[in-house]
Structure 1
Amino acid sequence: MVGTRSVGKPRAGTVPTGGPTVALAVTLLVLAGCGNQPVDAATPTVVASGAAFDADRAALVLTAFDQADSAASVSGDVQTLRTQEVSPSLEVSIAAIRRAEYNQRPQPAFQHVNPAFAVPPGEPGCFLATATLRLAGAELAPTDVSHFVRDTDGRWKLSHNVQVTQSALVTARGIAGRPATAGGTAVDETSRRALAAELFARTTGTSTGNRALVASSPLLDGQFAGGWEVYQQQLAGAGARVARTLDRAEWSDCAVTTPEGTLTFLTVYATDTLSPKPSGPATVTMVPQSPDMISTGRRAPVTGKRIRVTRVETFLLLVPAQATGTSVLGLNDTALTVTTG
């Protein structure tokens, strides 16, 4: 799970063939995990027969995960990561390893401390955790929220992980001891559709016309949408353009209701299509130095009449009872693939 995860960055290094290189600023968000000695954290925890799955058992899962996932992240062991994580977290972690390899800087070891949990009753298939994230060699210790799911073999794996903003720390810690519920039903379908559409639009600095649905966010409306605007301007200056389309939206299996609202994860899958402007050259090129090329492991230039970059964006949301004024508590974004066509 650990690594450098990009948030709202322009995609540097995309240029029309024969045109000047587009140098864009990159904003990176560091997320990390925890660990000491590598173990198989995905192995089901041995507990007394008949014991209910509670916060104590969730803590054992988190500790084992930290040990295995931290070691795998530091060493760049993708195969071990696959035993600890599933989509969308897995793709974000693999991209972080690729960035670390490109920059020739290993990711720091990590450990979650002072965790709190929201666990569904009975034998759950998911649970939520929030904790302070201790990173080796770092003075600051951010807070993150994680979502774990149990696979068909009974193994727990990380599916979502987002660092929260400073203003959201109290809200994140507010899940402690509360029962989690099914994420797909915690927010009604009409609100889910409207929120996904509005959040997607806001990543590009626009709106569906229902801007009040999502509260103003420096992270979403400033850093993220601002990066998109700079990216468009830089491409336009080089004779190229980019359009983003929404492919699908998915909600986490678990959510938790607090007095402030429902805390849940939303994952948006999108595609950026780069193409020359009508008055520009015939093709566009992405160079290896592009953050999206680095994240996807592409080490040679990619040229085509169109270049498509698929990406995943994960939002941690606090959704009020009537949905209006939903808060973005944290988010991350990474490219998944770069193709021509």
Structure 2
Amino acid sequence: MRAVRLVRFGKPSEALRLEDLEDPRPGKGEVLVKVEAAGVCGRDLVVRKGAFPHVRLPVIPGHEGVGKVVDVGPGVDRDLVGQRVFVAPAMYDGTCDYCRRGLENLCRNAQYLGEHRDGTYSEYVVLPSHFVYPFHGVDPRAAVLATDVIPTAIAAVRRVDVDGRKVLVVGGGGTGLYLAQVAKLRGAEVYISTRSADKAKAYGSLGIGIYQEGMKDFDVVFDTVGSPTIETSIRLAKRNGIVVLIGNVTGERAYLSPALIILRQIAVLGHMAYKPWDVYEGLDLLRRGLIAPVYTEYKLSEAVKAHEDMEAGRVLGRAVLTP
């Protein structure tokens, strides 16, 4: 099979390599999925840069994927073969204290595709059968958006009451676009920040306001960028406002004055991922046309270009790899 492997940490052209590998086989309790579409997440860029010490090289990146089950290992119902499924980016243990409290997204022992085990930048991926979920009625290239970015947006917006409130999404990348769409669906007056005229035009056509210099006093600010913009996000929130941190694309530390938070009584929330049923909600929103599936398609062999374009802010919506 063809796959893109992360062979070292660094720039896309140095770190990512297209290789021909032996086709994987499912073991006991596992399934083999032929990948039809793989999403490129900001987390993938952070992994590639070496920010996560648990990643051992070489590894096939990618934790977002949609495809068809083509084989199963011992102990798995063969009725799964032929079904289109989305794969779970994180495999939680189900037994830790967080899992037992219904907070699987915070599992202490979660194993991540593309980090702890080979991921979806590949023609095939193997994973435990209970971490694939059948679905139908949505094109795979659009459906892969519901495997991570859309459900993450759904879960993040659920954390705060945005109905009737003035909301700013900092960062006009794929995560920001879907946060803005979900917040708008939930009744917010939404603005998004972007330096790209093309993105501003596209997002404006979806009824999303474009942030202009001088705007301030937002009830809720969703920050999808991280270290470079956290201080600005806090300054743009109104007194007694809320800032939700949902991304850190550079993987760097942030430095800011606590007085910014204390004297203006700002609530700062961190948000981590979602739960599997949020994916089905995302698929339903796509199926009903309530969320626009904005993405830029690349071939698997163009993974380096996809990473470069994402870092340069050239990707409209989400980057999606196809075989």
TM band (smaller chain): under 0.3
Q: TM-score, normalised by structure 1?
A: 0.25
Larger strand share, 1 or 2: 1
Q: TM-score, normalised by structure 2?
A: 0.26
